[in-house]
């Protein structure tokens, strides 16, 4: 079931087209990350859904109801921002209960709900803390509890972890996903950080220049980004111009790199030159892979130019005849080492330029 439907929404700021006939569906209980470079229209999308920007065209529907003319505070939304916006003059409990109080919820119900929410975000007993006594991560948890308090039909998070350091951010990303999933909370999570988007979301929408340019589950989007822009934005670095022969044989510049197996999607367009992407895990040190015995896996001679060790993985840059390649491997490689890499042509995908 669709919880949120953004239907061909256009928003203009003077001559700037911030959203250009933007459409997006978020299913009930789904976490949708919206990711894109700065200025691509992410915040405007949230503001349009919240009713904080007039729509030049299009509609926003929540649970099937057109929100045109519905005031922001009546839309059933929870909002959380990078700058958590907690009220400094109120303690933690009053911050969380703020929306409940204005909605006329009785004090004892408010108290019970605040305790439940603090429990949920891992801050039991924090009711009487002043907001000034909170660490950055705690403040974000209180802001989340406040946004969840009215049981919103849609939670909208705008760079919610943007002000935190990397370690805390990674920890809270996992917590946030667990918590929202357990609650069955429908959410839009806006971020410029593709790693955070991939970690938190069921699906990811990539935005460029006021339009969605790709939508998919994280693993699917990574494996098949569809366009050069999306591939580069997601952090792919093996983007090659490849010649495909009639029999599926591939050449990158003059270097044969293998043959596409029958039925591979990149064969659909027939012979010709294509822009292709290969994940860094699609290259691995070849031990005795003979092109003749295994035509799908050719070996590519390279010389290692850089090795970065990151959480058990070697991220290797190497020079090949046709250009630079990037490899993620658990094998230990050294700068200056010459070796052959096996190309997993199965995982090559075509890109539009």
- The residues binding ligand ADP (CB under 6 A) are 13, 16, 18, 36, 38-44
Residue among 16 and 102 whose Cβ is closer to ligand ADP: 16
159 or 296: CB nearest ligand ADP = 159
DSSP three-state, residue 172: helix
Residue 47 or 326 with smaller CB distance to ligand ADP: 47
Nearest distance, CB of residue 44 and ligand ADP, angstroms:
3
Of residues 5 and 209, the one with the C-beta less far from ligand ADP: 209
Min CB(342)–ligand ADP separation in Å: 40
Phi, psi of 298 (to 5 degrees): -85, 165
Summarize the chain as % helix, strand, coil (round to 5).
30, 35, 35
Closest contact distance (angstroms) between CB of 131 and ligand ADP is 26
Cβ pair 258, 240 in contact under 8 A: no
Q: 206: helix, coil or strand?
A: strand
Nearest distance in Å: CB 111, ligand ADP: 37
Q: Are strands 272-277 and 239-244 parallel, antiparallel or unpaired?
A: antiparallel
Q: How far is the CB of 46 from ligand ADP (least distance, A)?
A: 8
Does residue 80 come out as left (phi exceeding 0), alpha (psi in the -120 to 50 range) or beta?
beta
d(CA 132, CA 119): 20
Task: Compute and round to an integer the Cα radius of gyration of the chain.
Answer: 24
Least distance CB 16 / ligand ADP (angstroms)? 5
- ∠ at Cα 163 (158, 168), nearest 5°? 105
**Bridge partner residues of 273 (DSSP):** 243
Q: Among all chains, which residue has been given the structure tokens 């012979």? A: 271
Report the residue number, 16 or 171, with the smaller CB distance to ligand ADP: 16
210 or 225, CB closer to ligand ADP?
A: 210
Which tokens in the block code for residue 156?
């909208």
């Amino acid at each position: 079931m669709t919880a949120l439907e953004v239907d061909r929404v256009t928003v203009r700021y003077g001559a700037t087209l911030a959203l250009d006939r933007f459409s997006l569906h978020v299913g009930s209980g789904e976490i949708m990350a919206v990711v894109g470079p700065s200025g691509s229209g992410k915040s405007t999308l949230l503001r349009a859904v919240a009713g904080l920007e007039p729509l030049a065209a299009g509609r926003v529907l929540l649970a099937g109801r057109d929100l045109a003319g519905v005031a922001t505070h009546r839309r059933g939304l929870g909002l959380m921002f990078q700058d958590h916006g907690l009220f400094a003059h109120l303690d933690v409990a009053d911050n969380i209960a703020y929306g409940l109080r204005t909605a006329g919820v009785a004090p004892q119900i408010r108290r019970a709900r605040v305790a439940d929410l603090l429990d949920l975000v891992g801050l039991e007993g924090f009711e009487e803390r002043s907001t000034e006594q909170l660490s950055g991560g705690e403040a974000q948890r209180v802001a989340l509890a406040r946004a969840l308090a009215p049981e919103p039909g849609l939670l909208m998070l705008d760079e919610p972890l943007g002000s935190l350091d990397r370690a805390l951010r990674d920890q809270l990303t996992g917590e946030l996903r667990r918590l929202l999933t357990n609650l069955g909370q429908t959410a839009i999570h806006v971020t410029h950080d593709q790693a955070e988007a991939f970690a938190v979301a069921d699906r990811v929408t990539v935005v460029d220049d006021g339009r969605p340019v790709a939508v998919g589950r994280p693993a699917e989007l990574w494996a098949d980004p569809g366009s050069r822009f999306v591939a580069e934005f997601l952090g792919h670095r093996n983007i090659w111009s490849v010649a495909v022969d009639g029999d599926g044989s591939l050449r990158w510049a003059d270097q044969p790199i293998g043959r596409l197996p029958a039925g591979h999607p990149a064969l659909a367009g027939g012979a010709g030159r294509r822009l292709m992407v290969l994940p860094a895990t699609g290259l691995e040190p070849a031990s005795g892979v003979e092109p003749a015995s295994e035509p799908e896996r050719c070996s590519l001679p390279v010389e290692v130019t850089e090795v970065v060790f990151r959480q058990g993985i070697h991220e290797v840059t190497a020079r090949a005849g046709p250009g630079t390649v990037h490899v993620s491997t658990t094998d230990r490689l050294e700068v200056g080492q010459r070796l052959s890499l096996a190309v997993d042509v199965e995982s090559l995908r075509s890109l539009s330029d």
